Amino acid sequence: MGEKLTAVTMKTLANKLGVSITTVSNAYSKPDRLSTDLRDQILATAKELGYCGPSAAGRALRSGKTDVCGFLFHGGVSHAFSDPYSIMLLAGLSEAVEEYGASVLLLRAPAAEEATNQMLQRAAIDALVVGSAERQESGIEQLRQRGVRIVSTAPSADGDWVTINDAKAGRLIGKHLARLGHRQVVVIASGASKGGMESFDYSPDGMDDRLFAGTYESERIRGLWEKMPDARITVAFAGHCIRESGRRAAGQALDVQDRPTAIVALSDTLALGAWDAAQERGLTPGRDLSISGFDDIPDARFLGITTIHQPVTEKGRLIGRLAMDPDYPDRQITLPIELIVRASTGPAPKN
Q: What does the binding site for DNA look like in residue numbers (CB under 7 A)?
A: 7, 9-11, 18-23, 25-26, 28-30, 32-35, 37-38, 53-55, 57-59, 61-63
236: part of which helix (H) or strand (E)? Answer: strand 232-237
CA distance 197 to 14: 68
Residue 105 interacts with a second copy (CB under 8 A): yes or no: yes
Q: Measured between alpha carbons, how far is 323 from 72 in angstroms, rounded to an integer?
A: 13
Amino acid 55 reads: S
Q: Contact with a second copy (CB under 8 A): which of 15, 20, 22, 118?
A: 118
For a second copy, the binding residues in 145-164 under the rule CB under 8 A are 145-146
Using the contact rule CB under 8 A, the part of the chain among 64-72, 211-219, 231-239, 326-334 near a second copy is 64-72
* CA 150 – CA 135 distance, rounded (Å): 8
CA 333 to chain centre: 15
Q: Which of 146, 152, 98 is nearest to 125 (CA)?
A: 146
Residue 329 contacts which entry, DNA, a second copy, none (Cβ below 5-8 A, type-dependent): none
Q: Which is nearer to a second copy, 118 or 198 (CB)?
A: 118
Judged on CB neighbours under 10 Å (0-12, 13-18, 19+), 190 is buried
Member of 67, 137, 226, 325 binding a second copy (CB under 8 A): 67
Identified binder of a second copy from the candidate list 27, 42, 104, 337, rule CB under 8 A: 104
- Partner whose binding site includes residue 43, from a second copy, DNA, none (CB under 5 to 8 Å by kind): none
44, 57, 192, 197: residue in contact with a second copy (rule CB under 8 A): 57
Task: Report the residue from 88, 151, 167, 207 that binds a second copy according to the rule CB under 8 A.
Answer: 88
Question: At its nearest, how many Å lie between a second copy and the CB of residue 143?
Answer: 8
Helix/strand/coil for 4 = coil
81 binds, options DNA, a second copy, none, Cβ within 5 to 8 A by partner type: a second copy
Cα end-to-end distance, the chain, whole Å: 87
Q: For residue 209, what are the contacts with CB-CB under 8 A and spacing of at least 6?
A: 194, 195
The β-bridge partners of 265 are 188
Burial of 312: CB neighbours in 10 Å, binned 0-12, 13-18, 19+: buried
Of DNA, a second copy, none, which one sits near residue 112, judging by CB under 5 to 8 A according to partner kind? none
Report the interface residues with a second copy, using CB under 8 A: 7, 50, 52-58, 60-61, 64, 66-68, 77-78, 80-82, 87-88, 90-92, 94-95, 98, 101, 103-108, 110, 117-119, 121-124, 139, 142, 145-146, 313
